[in-house]
Structure formats: structure tokens, C-alpha cells
Amino acid sequence: MKHLLYRWFSSFSAFQYRLDRRFTRAGALALGVLGAAAVIGLDTNRTVGYQVLTLVLALLLISAVSSLVFRGRFTARRVLPRFASVGVPLGYRVAIANQTDRRQEGLVLLEELADPRPSFEEFAAAREPGEERRNWFDRQVGYPRWAWLVSQKRGAVVTPRPLPPLAPGGEIEVGVEITPLRRGHVRFIGLTIARPDPLGLVHALKTIRLPQSLLVLPKRYPMPEIRLGGRRKYQPGGVALASSVGDSEEFVALRDYRAGDPMRRIHWKSWARVGRPVVREYQDEFFVRHALVLDTFTERESSLVFEDAVSVAASIAVSVETQESLLDLMFVGPEAYCFTAGRGVGHTDQLLEVLACVGPCRDKPFRALHRAVMERHASLSGCVCVLLAWDEARREFVRHLEALGTPTRVFVVGERGALDALPGDVHPLEVGRIGEGLARL
């Protein structure tokens, strides 16, 4: 039965896609009127609705026939930015060249994104957020789930862009707006130039193949500075990493005092000037290194909790000053990963790129992350954990860190009910209200 539904939804989506492409808004309305007139005019003795039916049908047929001929040849170039962010509309440029000796006007530019229809396995395994609140029929049939999956996999909404007139052999550049709906890659496969027929009901289409992709970074929230604390730790081979600042005899810069800095490094004059302790920095292999630990262990392929946890991690990554310290992003995917940014080693953008593509881990226990962090704990000054639950395995992990004396900040992202029993030093972040939760810190 599920196979049958899947095929039906898949065919329906394809049909709907073609319909959306082929018909203008006026054409779509005419189609709706055609359907309504077919119902009303079913009995030609009772109403004259059948006269509406035949007129609209004639209009659509004539439009369809006149859309068969479209003598246009175009080339296109798309200039995409390097990154986009979820939910933030973004403009980019598209250059269209008219390769005919005829002036082209009244055209509309449509973007072609990769086929967003999920596979049967994805459809069968997915659970739409809030699906449990839907009625029995919707849960069993699963069309809302299908629609949500398609929207997620499409990844972005691109507004159709009416084109200004194109001179014979000329080229124009237009701005197109895209609104990413999820993090990860949005894949473009081409561009379509649509030309409405004289009646304005049906489009004639010319598609140009133009594959490209755009990386969408996770959503980020404004958040206050996180005081991570922690002492500076000896970094084996750290000189190579600490390319610019450290504790060598060579003075590099001044910076704010941090717990663990020796008193003799305090720069008294600066303290007197700015009103807070300031220390001198020298090049050396002692420096602060924090870990940002992201919990990826969720049972579902796509869940709001996981997405919000990634957003929290991204927000933390961009808020931590990495000029003076290192930040290790640690999570477990197919294997345990650790990406480092700061002190010239890597840039925060790279962490965001990694976070844009991180996926849930469903084949390993939380213990794998526990082990990965412990292997590095000796070099860590502090640890920020973004967790998806507060179960025994995670409690054990946090207890272990604290027992080792590693200053730790823990954020648990979850539904409201799952956050009730958290201890006071763990920050609860409710799904859908992450911004509020972070602002309360």
C-alpha cells in the first residue's frame, strides 16, 4: 500500500511541477474554472455551465497550441555567492544572452532545481515534525509528510523573475532572489526561459542546462558572549598551530586577562588605562583550546531537534573569539571528526561549512563521541556541549568531563516536555524557541 501511495504521490508531484511550469497564474485559474465548470455543467440540461466549460477549454487549447512555437535561443550564466543562510533571502545575478536576431520581450526566468522527490526509503522512514498531532487519515496516507519532504529536499524557493526586453544578440543581467529553506547544498540543474502565449495562459519553455550548487549555512542566532573559562593548556606541536601568538620571549600583543595567566604577564599600565586586567602575549605553545561538541545521535533522518542543535552549534562557533584561542568542532558521523579553527589555523567559515553538511549518526552509540572527546581532553581548556537529550550516557559524559576538571557548558536542545528535569547548570533550549533560550543566557 505504501508503495502504491509513494508512486501516486510521486506522479502527482511530477504532474504538479509540470503544471506549475506550463501555466501562468491566469492559466492556473482558468484550469480551476474548467474543473468547476465541468462539475457544474455535467448535466447540460440543468445549467449552462457547460458553455463556460467549452469556452475555457477552447481558450486553453488555443493557448497550448500557440505555445508550441517559440523561436528563442539563449545562453545563460549564473553568478552565485559562496554561501547562503537558512531562511535569509539572498540575491544573485544571472546573465542571459539572446542569440537570435529578434527582440525578445515578455519573458520570465524560472530556476530549475534538482528533483526534490524523496526515495521510497526516505518517504517510509521520515516523520514530519508535529506529525503526531495530525489526524489518523493524514498519518496513515502521509501526504503532508510527502509535501514536507519535497519542500525540504527542494531546499529553496526561487521567485520567478520577469526579464526586461532582450535586444537581438544582446545580453542582460538580472537579479534573482532565492530563499533557502534548509542547510546543505541547494543544487541547480538549469534555467528555463518561459514565454506566455498571446492570451497569457500557457507558457512556452526553453530550458538551458546550467548545473551549479550553493552551500547553505545553518541558521544562526544572536547570542551573548560565552565565558568558557579554563586554563591554557600545553599543545604538543603547538608552535606549528600557534602561528602568531603565544608565550615565547617574543612579544606579540596585549589581550584581556584570562584565569590561569601568570601575574607577571599582567601589563599594569594597560590595566590602569582601560580599567580591567590586561596581559602581554608571547609566542609559545601554551594557549586556550575549546571543544564544541555536537551530539549527532538521533534516530530520525531529519528532525527539528537535530536541526536546531546544529544551529546552536553554529551560533556558538561564530560567537567564540578564535583570534586568541582554538575551537575544535567535534562530532561523530560515519567516523569521529574534529575540525579546528582559530589562531590562523582555520576560519570560522570552515566550521560553518562543516556544520552545513553534518548529518545525524544512527549507527553508533553516544559512547563513540564520549571516547573521541576523552582522547583529546588533555589539550582542552574547556568544553561546550550541544546535546540532543539528557539520558544516562550523556550525563555520564558530562560527569566525566567535570571529574577531569574541564570547565563545561552544556546545552540540551529538545521538545518542551523533555527539558523539564534538567539540572540547574544545564541550559535548556526548546525547539522552535532557540533564539529566546540563547538570549536568556
Q: Which residue has the cell 553538511?
A: 357
Concatenated DSSP letters of 152-207: HHH-EEE--EEPPPB-TT-EEEEEEEEEE-SSEEEEEEEEEEEEE-TTSSBEEEEE
Among 3, 7, 16, 48, binds other proteins (CB under 8 A): 48
37 binds other proteins per the rule CB under 8 A: yes
Among 11, 16, 47, 119, binds other proteins (CB under 8 A): 47
Among 106, 169, 170, 260, binds other proteins (CB under 8 A): 106
- Binding-site size for other proteins (CB under 8 A) equals 43
Among 197, 261, 281, 295, binds other proteins (CB under 8 A): 197
The nearer residue to other proteins, 36 or 97, going by C-beta atoms, is 36
> Rounded distance, CA 339 to CA 409, Å?
19
59 binds other proteins per the rule CB under 8 A: yes
Among 40, 64, 189, 252, binds other proteins (CB under 8 A): 40
Q: Greatest CA span in the chain, whole angstroms?
A: 102
> Rounded distance, CA 28 to CA 21, Å?
10
> Rounded distance, CA 13 to CA 272, Å?
69
Q: Are 63 and 27 in contact (CB under 8 A)?
A: yes
| 354 membership: H or E segment, kind and range | helix 348-357
Sheet holding 90-98, edge to edge: 74-79, 90-98, 171-180, 156-158
The nearer residue to other proteins, 73 or 185, going by C-beta atoms, is 73
> Rounded distance, CA 398 to CA 385, Å?
9
List the grid coordinates of 97. Answer: 544572452
Among 36, 124, 210, 252, binds other proteins (CB under 8 A): 36
The nearer residue to other proteins, 226 or 305, going by C-beta atoms, is 305
The nearer residue to other proteins, 26 or 336, going by C-beta atoms, is 26
Q: Which window, 105-113, 239-247, 390-398, 401-409, contacts other proteins (CB under 8 A)?
A: 105-113
C-alpha 161 chain-centroid distance: 23
Query: Measured from the CB of residue 56, what is the shortest distance to other proteins in angstroms?
Result: 8
Q: Which window, 15-23, 58-66, 180-188, 216-224, contacts other proteins (CB under 8 A)?
A: 58-66
Among 46, 73, 93, 371, binds other proteins (CB under 8 A): 46
Query: Measured from the CB of residue 80, what is the shortest distance to other proteins in angstroms?
Result: 26
171-180 vs 90-98, strand pairing mode: antiparallel
Q: What binding mask, one character per residue, do residues 107-126 give for other proteins by CB under 8 A, x or -?
A: x-------------------
108-113 vs 184-196, strand pairing mode: antiparallel
The nearer residue to other proteins, 41 or 190, going by C-beta atoms, is 41
CA atoms within 13 A on the CB side of 299: 3
The nearer residue to other proteins, 116 or 432, going by C-beta atoms, is 432
51 binds other proteins per the rule CB under 8 A: yes
Among 52, 113, 124, 205, binds other proteins (CB under 8 A): 52
The nearer residue to other proteins, 111 or 197, going by C-beta atoms, is 197
> Rounded distance, CA 53 to CA 34, Å?
5
Chain positions contacting other proteins, by CB under 8 A: 24-26, 29, 32-33, 36-37, 40-41, 43-59, 61-62, 66, 105-107, 130, 133, 195-201, 432
